[in-house]
């Protein structure tokens, strides 16, 4: 039985850890050749080593998503290495400062948007010509539930993820004529290494943190990176050939309540 991404080439930004790494590993297990991109070479190398040790195909390409030249170089390098591109996953992101609008400095705002918004713009800009050349493909953007709803924390991050939500719809409208589908996933809190560190420092540890963070969810637990990765896999695969412009919450029912 062939994998769900057999014969496809996928490039994943922010692939060194967390949901990006889980997506890279799942894609490779499903038959894709995976370009793992990140600014962290050491962590990315571990992901690539794990994939190749399991019989998958992966290679690391250094990428700073906030710098267009770096993005262009990594995309062209991956295309040269694997012979084309079928899937782009825009996972790279930072959370930035936890301040309301009137307290955020211009430098803090710009630093966050350089990664979370311009990073998606740059990667999409440089991937699209290769997807057109391929006759179509899939782009999956990582937004957040806070790209759909508001709350009183991390304002710059949430506004940036709102921009990613809209870019998803705009690019879906623009590129469907080329057979390119563009969708986004919107996780709530997922048990990544970053979240594990935050949870361990929380009074009462992970159980107390999980109870607090999932109080508004229907399914009262944190998500796991692989659960997000399976949703990305569906959107990347030909199984979702008629799906584009969708903003898919992965949130245990948070936005349903």
For the chain, domains (ranges, CATH) are 9-188+224-252 (3.40.50.720), 191-222 (no CATH)
Contact 145, 100 (CB under 8 A): no
Residue among 146, 157, 175, 254 flagged as catalytic: 157
DSSP string for 42-70? HHHHHHHHHHHHTT-EEEEEE--TT-HHH
pLDDT of residue 1: 62
Which residues, other chains included, contact 189 with Cβ-Cβ below 8 Å and sequence gap of 6+? Answer: 195, 213, 214, 222, 223
Going residue by residue through the chain (257 aa), what tens digit of pLDDT does each one get?
A: 689 999 999 999 999 999 999 999 999 999 999 999 999 999 899 999 999 999 999 999 999 999 999 999 999 999 999 999 999 999 999 999 999 999 999 999 999 999 999 999 999 999 999 999 999 999 999 999 999 999 999 999 999 999 999 999 999 999 999 999 999 999 999 999 889 999 999 999 999 999 999 999 999 999 999 999 999 999 999 999 999 999 999 999 999 99
Task: Note if 230 is an active site residue.
Answer: no
Element (H, E) at 11: strand 9-13
Neighbour count for residue 111 (Cβ, 10 Å) = 16
CA–CA dist 85, 143 (Å, integer): 22
Which residues, other chains included, contact 242 with Cβ-Cβ below 8 Å and sequence gap of 6+? Answer: none
Contact 223, 253 (CB under 8 A): no
Q: Is 96 left (phi over 0), alpha (psi -120 to 50) or beta?
A: left
Beta strand extents in 102-201 (DSSP E only): 137-142, 180-187
Angle at which helices 155-175 and 106-116 pack, to 10 degrees? 40
HSE, side-chain direction, 13 A CA sphere, residue 213: 23
HSE, side-chain direction, 13 A CA sphere, residue 142: 30
CA–CA dist 255, 63 (Å, integer): 33
Look-up: residue for tokens 């391929």? Answer: 134
Q: pTM for the whole thing?
A: 0.97
């Amino acid at each position: 039985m062939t994998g769900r991404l057999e014969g496809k080439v996928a490039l994943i930004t922010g692939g060194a850890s967390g949901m990006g790494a889980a997506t890279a590993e799942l894609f490779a297990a499903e038959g894709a050749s995976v370009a793992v991109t990140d600014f962290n070479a050491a962590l990315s190398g571990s992901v690539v080593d794990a994939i190749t040790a399991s019989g998958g195909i992966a290679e690391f390409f250094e990428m700073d998503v906030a710098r267009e030249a770096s993005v262009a170089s990594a995309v062209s390098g991956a295309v040269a290495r694997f012979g084309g591109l079928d899937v782009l996953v825009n996972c790279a992101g930072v959370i930035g400062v936890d301040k309301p609008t009137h307290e955020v400095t211009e430098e803090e705002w710009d630093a966050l948007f350089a990664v979370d918004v311009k990073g998606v713009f740059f990667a999409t800009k440089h991937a699209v010509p290769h997807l057109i050349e391929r006759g179509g493909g899939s782009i999956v953007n990582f937004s957040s539930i806070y790209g759909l709803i508001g709350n009183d924390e991390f304002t710059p991050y949430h506004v940036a993820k709102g921009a990613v939500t809209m870019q998803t719809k705009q690019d879906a409208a623009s590129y469907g004529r080329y057979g390119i589908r563009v969708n986004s996933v919107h996780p709530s809190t997922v048990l990544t290494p970053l979240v594990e560190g935050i949870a361990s420092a929380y009074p009462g540890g992970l159980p107390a943190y999980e109870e607090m963070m999932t109080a508004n969810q229907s399914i009262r637990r944190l998500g796991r990176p692989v659960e997000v990765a399976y949703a990305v896999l569906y959107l990347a695969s030909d199984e979702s050939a008629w799906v584009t412009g969708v903003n898919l919450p992965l949130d245990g029912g948070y936005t349903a309540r």
